[in-house]
Amino acid sequence: MNQKIDKIITRFPPSPSGYLHVGGARTAIFNWLYARNKGGNFVLRIEDTDAQRSTQDSVDAIFDGLKWLGITWDDGPYYQSQRTDLYLEYIQKLLDSGNAYYCTCSPEKLDEMREKAMSEGRKPKYDGTCREKNLPKTDNAVVRFKAPLHGATVIEDIIKGHIAIQNEELDDFIILRSDGSPTYNLAVVVDDITMGINTIIRGDDHISNTPKQIMLFNALGYKLPLFGHVPMVLGGDKTRLSKRHGATSVTAYRDMGILPEAMVNYLVRLGWSYGDQEFFTIEDLLEKFNLTSIGKSPSVFDMDKLLALNADHMKAAGAAKLKDLVKPFLDKAGIIPPEGIDVEKAVETLIPRCRTLEEMAEASRFYFEDEIVYDEEAVKKHMKPESIAPVNALIAKIDGLEDFSEANIDKVFHEMLEETGLKFGKAGPPVRIALTGKTASPGIFEIIAVIGKEKTLSRLKKAAAYIENMGQAKN
């Protein structure tokens, strides 16, 4: 478990049968961070041997997700579908060394074996019929690995500790199908050998594959890599995270306005800890990440925690960066900032109130659109006949304002309060509704400073006319 490795080489080997999901992204991040932390290499390998399920769209989606997260690879991408000759070469080595053999048992024969084993209370597995027959290669034959019959295969797992699997629990598993295609476990081991992979960090759903892979490493005469099996990511109901729990594709979170730094931070914290620290920059993680602090228990994906963490990363990013990041979300919402409005300043006022870029785009609507739509409940509660006095008084004050700074806006607003004898709690809401259409928004002085004198006066006058019309309608 403490074996010395000269240069860490990790890998991420997704199957291109869909998008890059949350669990896979976390595995990629763990491998990438560990390689970077140790000054090693990170290899990307596309395991596309399942031709029916593998698609180019899925490959593109995986690349898209990794690039969004900021994960870069040093070698690859390698494609298993292009490496069949190499796998056949290693299968031949196993045949030549007596560690593999041809098997001609038919599917019907295999079914009989399993049924017989189950009827006798034994585990349904291949019974070794062809193991010592030394059969030649034929068109319908498969190649099986000659697994050890006794003893145990041991995994010294950096995360889960010592795991021993009794060899009698396993059977002579197939390494080459009758159609000439290599199986998963054989291809993975050959890839890891030829790519120099010496550290394998993956989900603990692979633990059942690990003994078979260890046997293949041993039979081929290669040093075992270091294994670390990471517990699963679960949904709120403590079952494996899936579509029914919400989005599982990392790019779906990108599309809702999560920052990549926040996504990486959150996924790393799903199972890894560094004291009580929750907020990490990418630089922090590259410096501090290690394998020994990965927990042994599954982690639960909590959307509220991700959103809270994203809000923190938005604050850390600042308005200068966010103004560019929010633009695609403004475009998507059909919002076009007009000339003369400082988008960066508008964004700055919204940062404390938003958890995603999508929320920020929607929250900014009142800044950039000419027509303000009043919230009905807000109107009922605050747009009363007596509300017209502070609105009109503020119009007069702002109309005569030369220096339109936030400090001067604050000054004239408080002068208005003194003249009308109203408290902020009474005068503020109708002004806020006039400016934004809502009762919840950034500070009034901030809003006025962003939208400018002309737009402020236009909105206040419209609100005053609206209140007056309401009063006349009641009369």
- Which one, of 264, 291, 295, 292, lies nearest residue 40 by Cα? 291
pLDDT given for residue 453 in this prediction: 93
Structure tokens at 401: 């304002």
Mark 75-86 as b/e (b = at least 16 C-beta within 10 Å).
Answer: ebbbebbebeeb
Distance (Å, rounded) from C-alpha 444 to C-alpha 467? 19
Active site residues: 243
End-to-end CA distance of the chain: 86
Structure tokens at 173: 């598993």
**Residue 300, SS3 per DSSP:** strand
Q: Which residue has the tokens 């109130």?
A: 353
SS3 of the chain: helix, strand, coil, percent, to 5: 50, 10, 35
326 and 357 in contact (C-beta within 8 Å)?
Answer: yes
45 and 80 in contact (C-beta within 8 Å)?
Answer: yes
Structure tokens at 389: 């006095």
C-alpha count within 13 angstroms, C-beta hemisphere, residue 82: 6
Residues 389-428: tens digit of each pLDDT: 999 999 999 999 888 888 999 999 999 999 999 999 999 9
CA distances from residue 23 to 158, 203, 246, 250 in whole angstroms, order as listed: 19, 8, 14, 9
The structural domains of the chain, with segments of one domain joined by +, span 370-474
Structure tokens at 206: 């692979």
Contacts 24+ apart (CB under 8 A), 400-407: 401/453, 404/449, 404/452, 404/453, 405/449, 406/445, 406/446, 406/448, 406/449
Instruction: State which H helix or E strand residue 267 sits in.
Output: helix 260-269
Q: Which residue has the tokens 């870029």?
A: 357
pLDDT given for residue 1 in this prediction: 43
19: amino acid identity, one letter: Y
pTM, to two decimals: 0.92
- Which one, of 30, 22, 8, lies nearest residue 272 by Cα? 30
Ordered per-residue pLDDT tens for the chain, 475 residues? 445 678 999 999 999 988 999 999 999 999 999 999 999 999 999 999 887 888 999 999 999 999 999 999 999 999 999 999 999 999 999 999 999 999 999 999 999 999 998 888 888 899 999 999 999 999 999 999 999 999 999 999 999 999 999 999 999 999 999 999 999 999 999 999 999 999 999 999 999 999 999 999 999 999 999 999 999 999 888 888 876 776 678 999 999 999 999 999 999 999 999 999 999 999 999 999 999 999 999 999 999 999 999 999 999 999 999 999 999 999 999 999 998 889 999 999 999 999 999 999 999 999 999 889 999 999 999 999 999 999 999 999 999 988 888 899 999 999 999 999 999 999 999 999 999 999 999 999 999 999 999 999 999 999 999 998 886 656 5
Residues 26-58: tens digit of each pLDDT: 999 999 999 999 999 999 999 998 878 889 999
**Residue 121, SS3 per DSSP:** coil
Residues 299-346: tens digit of each pLDDT: 999 999 999 999 999 999 999 999 999 999 999 999 999 988 899 999
CATH architecture assignment, domain 370-474: Orthogonal Bundle (1.10)
